[in-house]
Structure 1
Amino acid sequence: MVKPVQSATSRSGAHLRRSVGFYGLMFVSLGSIIGSGWLLGALKAAKVAGPASLLSWILTAVIMATLALIHAELGAAYPVAGGTARFPALVYGVLGGFAGGWVAWLQAVALAPVEVEASVEYLDNITWVKENLNLLSPSGTLTASGFGWSTLLMAIFTLINLVGVKLLSESNSATVIWKTAVPVLTIVVLLSLRFHPGNFSAGGGFAPAGAHGVFAALPVGVVFALQGFEQAVQVGGEARNPQKDISRAIITAMVIGTIVYLLLEIAFIGGLDPAAIAKNWDNPITQGSFGPYATLATLAGAGWLSYVLYADAFVSPAGTGLLYLGTSSRLSYAMGREKVLPKRLGKLSVRGVPVWSILLSFVIGEIAFLPFPSWGKLVEVITSATALMYAFAPLALTALRKRDPDRHRPYKAPAAKVLAPAGFVAANLVIYWTGFDTLWKIMIAIVAGFALFVVARATTKAEDRRAIDWKAAMWILPWLGGMVLISWLGRYGDGGNINALPEWIDLLVVIAFSLVIFYWAVSLAVSSEKVQEAIDRETEELVVQPS
């Protein structure tokens, strides 16, 4: 029998406080899932796929559930802070670990400013705010005033995170109850007062854009909306009973989030004006398109609900932004401990808080406002980065089962020999559906990350640098390069691709390529001895002592 300790010690002697219970962990994941995506996802998916957007949500739920089960096992067996940055390091060494950690950090650090931008853009729909605060320019980007208010929000998130994870968890728990109740209330009102069954066959039928539309809807907001389940893993080093609670928290949050989003899409499509979608789904709602549910509530005679929705349009994104500023700092903290980023990022305060990592997330979030000054500009980029991050987990699961077979696994993912390769394939399909025009931008950010890796290595004392296992990481470049090539030859995205691969054949190419990379990468994992050495380095956090 095993039991977790109550705190985890850093090399500096400070502690990550193990103070977060099951509900705190579950709310961390659920709070990340229900953010600005619920207010926009249904509209954007319907514009691309029509009523068949319901299939997009179901497909995304299957993909995310597959990856969630994998993360549930990893998080329970290896409960460390910034887990997605550290699982790859256990089996692919310092270079492979950095690659996985860097894409995870890119995804997380960009999400806080994106959610802040969503809050500001929603608030700008209120007449008093528009007339007195001048948050947005006519083109929809942040004004100087908008940047100032966004900075204030980021500063508040930073202060809450600096106080400690317990306050972060408690603040989030209260927010998530509101964030979940409002979508549920919206579903009930719209299904009760305004529902047109004929809308599900209007504007060209159930699937006006065919299967292509179903797949293309995933990166425009559907995957973005359902991502976030892994946040319970990121704070695993601060969980009170990680072996028992992490897996349950992830699975519970995914089930709740999936049900809510699917019902929201049904309520949205059923609540539309049939005349607006009689010919096509290009513009299913013309008024208040940035907050479509508020418009539908007004048309349904429930104007009071629109006020609740505008309040939630601030609370939901702001709550998610608060979470992601915290979890992105745990990722940079993890990479600082691994000495693949400046080691100062891996230090804790006397309160057990990664201060420098939190401040870095604040600074990078502020910088992100400048090149990406609106919500829509970052969603597809984040979706692609998320899929790249998720792709490392199935590899780590399979390799760790082979290299660390005797480790106690409080939760074991079912049929892992099928689930893990399926999860890797699913992540690569999402990357492909995002399109070449987005993927090449992500690759530039990854190259920049490796440049920072080189700098960190050069400025670290030789005795503190762990040797790079080049063989273990040699699959990463062919994988990334191959996905860029397939995307360029493929049929998805808004530009740059050449549509050389026929419909369906392109998906078979992605699947076949993914399976080759998967089994090759698993075979290249470091030896059991090196895995054990890596785990031993983390025993200060991976403490599972005999009772």
Structure 2
Amino acid sequence: MTELKRVLGFKTILFLSITSIMGTGLFFGAALGASYSGNASILAWIIISLIAIYISTFFGELVAMFPKAGGVYEFSKQAYTRFISFLMGWLAWLVGNLTTAVLIVAAINYLIPDPSQIFIKIIISIALIILLNIIVYFGIEASSFVIVVLTIISMGILMSIIFPGIFLMDLTNLTPFFALGAFPILITIFFIVESFFGWESITYLSEETKNPEKIIPKALVYGTVIVGILATLIAIVSLGIIPWRFLSNSPAPLSFVFERIYGGFGTILNYGVFIALIGSAAGGIITMPRLILALARDKLFIPQLADIHPKFKTPYKAILFQTIISLIVFGMAFGKYITLLSLLLPLGLIMYILTILTVPILRYKYPEIKRTFKVPFANIGSILVALFLASLIVIWLLQEPNAFQLLSLGLSFVAIGIPIYLLLEIYYNPDAIVKVNDALAYFTLLTEKIILPKKVRKEILMLLGDIKNKIILEFGCSVGTLTLDLAEKVKPYGKIYATDLSKKDLIITKNRMKKRGHEHVIIIHDEHQVNRVHPNVPHVDAIVSIGMMGYLQDVKKVLKEMRELLPYGGKIVFVDYADFFKVIPNVAWLSKDETIEKIFRDSGFSVYVTRKKGLFWNYVYVYGIKFQQDIPYV
């Protein structure tokens, strides 16, 4: 199996950390902070910088323990339940997509301030998203080189403001310091905390980093310190050069400051800020497919997205998928910076709270695991930081109009993940199959004409041919929909062995057979049916199975066991559901007819594969015979 390639060293990871953490707050935050707390916003920058540095140590300890591509999803998987870890992965994916959208919207507004140039803005943004994803597709080395260059440009822009700006400050602009009071500082922190969002992004590159247990924790802390210093100095210089009342009304505050320092050349900065923000967006574009890869590997996302390109060693299918999603999110978010920010911030804070709390949980659960990096005062510190971040959300809800509506909208996006999780579990997780089948047994009975229409049943019986007086194995009988037809067809001396993994399904089937007087139907419960044919099943003349192929964990093993039960020329008819709800893709081996034919042929069957369209899904028919030697057709 092709794996990701470990090529990233400390310097590259440090640059990636800086650009991933560096949010729009560094470029818009001085004005945004001034609008809420005036000059006192400087305190907000200092406070959040110190807290951010401490938070980075939590991510450092976690990635040192579990250097996997899943990042926050992997940490949650170890600390919480499978369901909560999925929601964390889903939440991290939402936050990542919103962050990228915020950065691109902010970048394009800096490049083209004119609000009437909508078409040009959209075209440039789409071209940039596609270009960055193409670079990511062709390898982590090319991607990281681009990031390093963009990070150097970003830092150069900020330095070009900070160093000359210090000597041009008018300290009288900083008085009165608490013009709007002290309490608004907390609201300011809420809106500027996004400047440090991104710790999780760098953890997604763990499987492409040399010695990630040591390199990534160090890079995260150093990167956060650098961003914190730059952000605080930018705020001080901006407020020292331009009075806060004027700065707070500026849509492009750094351009305003740059013009004061360099005169008419100030507009040049717009291009620089545009490049810097695109660099930050590129950090998310590089790392997000790695999160998708981790979810897909655990079958909590489309499994095909876990494929690694054999040449470029990148999760190329996840990259293509993420490109499409990025374009969709950008299209929905275009021109809505403040709304996007208000959606992003509470969701990001919730994600960070849950991630920080995994540290004390994992210290309790796995005290024996080696930690090359440890958080100081982790137990009390995690609680205090979590409470502080939670208080920011509460204050925002109490102070900001429409905050509850925005939070509800954000949480509704998270809630969309719940039915997706259930569908994926039903489709891919054998442990969940039994629970769901038991829970939905009577629903299946009520909807059996939709799930297995009469037309499909007729086609199955036609493919089986004359089964009068034959012994038939129905592998996965569900609630007995097809069993009733088979029971009639094998009379007067035939038998049906109906097996299933759901007890409730079999209770229904048994009652239906008893009611019809079908004593020649033998019901067998097999909780391990995804891995075998029940040992109590004797030799049979034919085998029929509906909806079981996708659940089999070892297809060839089960098929070979079936082959042992059949005579030469014995028929098999398998029907499965494909393109489930026209959204969820098939189990990988059911995606191609050639793969299905080869698996059956290798197991001793000559089969024909065909696909037919249904209302909510399509049907895959696999039918043929047991052969003694390879038969070209059936």
Letter in 2 for 1:209: L
Q: Deviations over 1:485-528 (max 9, x none)?
A: xxxxxxxxxxxxxxxxxxxxxxxxxxxxxxxxxxxxxxxxxxxx
| Structure-1 residue corresponding to 2:14 | 26
Structure 2, unmatched stretches of 5+, are: 398-402, 437-634
Normalised to the residue count of structure 1, the TM-score between the two structures is 0.74
Residue number in structure 1 paired with 2:541: none
Q: Secondary structure at the match of 1:180?
A: helix
1:200 corresponds to: 174
Q: Deviations over 1:55-106 (max 9, x none)?
A: 1112212332222111001111211113111111112121111121111111
State whether residues 24 and 169 of structure 1, in contact with CA within 8 Å, keep that contact through their aligned partners in structure 2.
yes
Verify: 1:45 aligned to 2:6, yes or no.
Answer: no
Q: 2:382 aligns with which of 417, 420, 423?
A: 420
Q: After superposition, where does 1:495-506 map in structure 2 within 5 Å?
A: none
Q: Determine the structure 2 residue equivalent to 1:389.
A: 351
Find the aligned partners of 2:333 and 2:225 in 1 and give their Cα distance: 32
What's the counterpart of residue 181 of structure 2?
210
> What residue is the counterpart of 2:369 in the other structure?
407
Q: Which has the higher strand share?
A: 2
CA distance in 2, matches of 1:167, 1:183: 25
Compute the TM-score of the two structures, normalised by the length of structure 2.
0.64
Match of 2:4 among 5, 11, 16: 16
Q: Distance in 2 between matches of 1:38 and 1:293?
A: 9
Match of 1:358 in 2: 319
Corresponding position of 2:199: 229
Residue number in structure 1 paired with 2:84: 96
Conservation of the 8 A alpha-carbon contact between 1:68 and 1:229: yes
- Say if 2:244 is the partner of 1:254: no
**SS at structure 1 position matched to 2:4:** strand
Which of 163, 170, 179 lines up with 2:154 in the alignment? 179
Deviation at 1:41, TM superposition (A): 0.7
What's the CA shift for 1:293? 2.1
Q: Percent identity?
A: 23
Looking at secondary structure, tell me which structure has more helix per residue: 1
Off by >4 Å, runs of 4+ in structure 1 = 463-468
Change (3 A) 1:243 1:63: same
User: CA 1:388/1:191 → structure 2, altered by over 3 Å: closer, same or farther?
Assistant: same
**Counterpart Cα distance in 2 of 1:467 and 1:105:** 28
1:501 aligned partner: none
Q: Quote the Cα distance in structure 2 between the aligned partners of 1:173 and 1:411.
A: 25
Q: Retained in 2: the 8 A contact 1:182–1:308?
A: no
Q: What aligned pairs does 1:441-460 form with structure 2 within 5 A after superposition?
A: 441-460=409-428
Contact conserved, 1:98 with 1:340, CA < 8 A, in 2? yes
> Is contact 2:38-2:179 (8 Å) kept?
yes
Distance change in 2, residues 1:26/1:103 (3 Å): same
Distance 1:466 1:392 in 2: 30
**Which residue among 312, 320, 331 is the counterpart of 1:370?**
331
Give the Cα–Cα distance (whole angstroms) in 2 for the partners of residues 365 and 236 of structure 1: 23
Cα deviation 1:186-239 (Å, max 9, x = unaligned):
01122223x1111112xxx3223323310111233x111122233221211211
Match of residue 116 from structure 1:
104
Q: Report how far residue 162 of structure 1 moved.
A: 0.7
Structure 1 position 152 matched with structure 2 position 114: no
Q: What is the CA deviation profile of residues 22-67 of structure 1, one whole-angstrom value per residue up to 9, with x for unaligned ones?
A: 1111111101223432110111101111011011112212332222
Task: State the one-letter code of the partner of 2:177.
Answer: F
3-state DSSP of counterpart to 1:459: helix
- Distance change in 2, residues 1:339/1:296 (3 Å): same
Separation in 2 of the partners of 1:51 and 1:332? 42
How far apart are 1:109 and its partner, in Å? 1.5
CA distance in structure 2 between the aligned counterparts of 1:465 and 1:349, rounded to whole angstroms: 31
CA deviation after TM superposition for structure 1 residue 297, in Å: 2.6
Counterpart CA distance in 1 for 2:25 and 2:365 is 38
Aligned length: 428
The corresponding residue for 2:273 is 313
Task: Choose between structure 1 and 2 for higher RCO, CA contacts under 8 A separated by at least 6 residues.
Answer: 1
Cα distance in 2 for residues equivalent to 1:455 and 1:211:
49
Q: Is the 8 A contact 1:336 1:344 kept in 2?
A: yes
1:508 is matched with: none
Provide the aligned C-alpha RMSD in A. 2.1
Asked whether the 8 Å contact 1:164–1:353 carries over to 2, the reply is yes
Q: Is the 8 A contact 1:63 1:426 kept in 2?
A: no
Q: 2:47 aligns with which of 56, 59, 68?
A: 59
SS in 1 for 2:42: helix
Please give the alpha-carbon distance, in whole angstroms, between the structure 2 residues aligned to 1:301 and 1:340.
Answer: 53
